[in-house]
């Protein structure tokens, strides 16, 4: 089944809120070799004006992932996970994610383009805090192989 072009513009409900924990930020920071004190030490983060430890710039992928699961759970996407390659990724931030944030991601599919025998699926996850303010937009381009017809 080819990727369904009607995914573009489909409304997805906001994903369940994600509460950013201090230890999760530390764990993620260690995993991406982020050794700046602001990522692990609350006092260092406060000295820079933040309420708590600051998540590394790519941490938003954890919230985006929750919304991509919603996409893959749709019965008619034509996207089979074993044929998906991550081609591009982008984060556009209004402010960094900080421990204590309660974040909600909302997905939209902005493009489905056929290229050769594959489809390029562009999705955007708009991430907002508990006050509804924009934090970051995470954009992914996935290349989906069409597989056997």
Partner 1 sequence: MTAVGDVVAERSVHLTRESLVRYAGASGDFNPIHYRDDVAAAVGLPGVLAHGMLTMGLAIQAIVPWLGDAGRILEYGVRFTRPVVVDPEAGAVLTIVAKVGAVEDDIARIDLTVTHGASTVLGKAQARIRLV
* Residue selected from 8, 10, 74, 89 as contacting partner 1 according to rule CB under 8 A: 89
* DSSP per position, 7-37: GTT---PPPPPEE--HHHHHHHHHHTT---G
**Torsion 36-41-42-47 (CA) sign:** negative
Using the contact rule CB under 8 A, the part of the chain among 10-18, 87-95, 99-107, 114-122 near partner 1 is 87-95
How many chain residues touch partner 1 (CB under 8 A)?
34
Q: Is 72 helix (H, G, I), strand (E, B) or coil?
A: helix
Contact by Cβ (8 Å): 96, 53: no
Q: Is 149 helix (H, G, I), strand (E, B) or coil?
A: coil
4 vs 39 by CB, closer to partner 1: 39
Shortest reach from residue 55's CB to partner 1, in Å: 8
Q: What count of other Cβ atoms lies within 10 Å of the Cβ of residue 120? A: 17
Residues numbered 23-62 forming contacts with partner 1, rule: CB under 8 A: 24, 27-28, 30-36, 38-39, 48, 50, 54, 56-58, 61-62
* Residue selected from 96, 119, 125, 144 as contacting partner 1 according to rule CB under 8 A: 96
Residues that bind partner 1 in the complex, under the rule CB under 8 A:
24, 27-28, 30-36, 38-39, 48, 50, 54, 56-58, 61-62, 65, 82, 85-93, 95-96, 139
């Amino acid at each position: 089944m080819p990727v369904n072009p009607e995914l573009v513009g489909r409304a997805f409900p906001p994903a369940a809120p994600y509460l950013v924990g201090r230890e999760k930020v530390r764990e993620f920071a260690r995993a991406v070799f982020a050794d700046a004190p602001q990522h692990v030490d609350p006092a260092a983060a406060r000295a820079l004006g933040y309420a708590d430890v600051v998540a590394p710039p790519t941490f938003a992928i954890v919230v985006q992932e929750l919304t991509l699961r919603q996409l893959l759970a749709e019965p008619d996407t034509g996207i089979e996970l074993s044929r998906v390659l991550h081609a591009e990724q982008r984060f556009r931030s209004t402010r960094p994610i900080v421990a204590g944030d309660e974040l909600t991601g909302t997905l939209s599919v902005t493009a489905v383009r056929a290229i050769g025998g594959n489809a390029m699926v562009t999705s955007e996850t708009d991430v907002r805090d508990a006050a509804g303010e924009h934090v970051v937009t995470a954009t992914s381009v996935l290349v989906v192989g069409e597989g056997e017809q």
